[in-house]
Structure 1
């Protein structure tokens, strides 16, 4: 009798152990499957977010080109479509203060706006300018006045379109009859971006509209320096010869949604 009980007791113990073992294996497989699925979905989401990021970057570059183009042709316009699923586009109204001084005299004092896309999925991005070289005074007539920068906003990848550059170009010499001598003609240009009506989210069309140009002409009798300040900080300084005529052009472009 004891041998019988021992026999059945041994079989029961082995059966229970086998069931528990199978449950552990099944649970492990389910857990691995769940983790694998989660990792795969997260990887796919990051890939999709990165693809959107690249698409938005291309749209920002196109919009920057349009802003400079319509700025040179008053009342002209153009627009770019932004498809946003993993991020959002923010219109940063008057977020940058630009001041330009000529020999300590302020000749430009304006606020300009920016456009920023922020992705809602975290992934690494190199902080660099993909258009332009940052804020500064550039003496090249082909230099960009609107920059596009890849950055990080609170740990999330972002793309920022900004107008914080000044272009100063030597346009050659001009004889002034009133003065009786030749002068060098310089042209100082900057783009002031303004924000109009903005509505909608996800997929939006951003329009750039050339509103006009404000022109001011200055006569310079002695060698001078032009200084650029961004948000109160001096970022660049360039010298110009004299006598000279300096034409200061502020190009106004409005961005809005359509």
Structure 2
């Protein structure tokens, strides 16, 4: 992405005032960040929890098929940076949701983290290996990140999401809106560059998954009697997504 470095720093500054007017007009926001979380999150995420309000979580099958790239496909420097960033971006979503599940016990966080974000991480990891790139996910520990911007944002998101369950659900909405915006930029960049079909397909399916996750978080928020306000992408886009049916991604 042409503005990746600048927008990362802008988002990190924005994260300090997360969910208080920082995002709804930021149509080109781009970045995520992390640091350390308790190892007990992983154990807690596998525990059995009953939550009637989480019967549906908006996690459709978003399987992504990876195809072998042509031997002539060479990614541009921007495409390479974006691919590596998206790999850790998916880890950020997983780690935040597992941490918030550990805090609140709401299975929406657990289901999206383990049934979707983990798969997204794995898909991006396969692409990193396919293109012989150095994987930024050196340690798969909750809260461990190579990108310092993602490291810092992880802390901000967890802190905000730990204030109340409603704030936690809004953090989920923020992450998914951010991903939708970021992935669209990634798709546009790839289409304008080397046109790697496997990477474009992966980004497309990840964005489909993010739309489903946004539907889930907004549904939970509004079930609690709160009107959801867009945080990153335009309100009209959010409304169009949440008012449309859940998608079967990768089909």
- Comparing both structures, which one devotes a greater share of its residues to helix? 2
Q: Same fold (TM over 0.5)?
A: no
TM-score by length of 1: 0.26
* Higher Rg: 1
TM-score by length of 2: 0.26
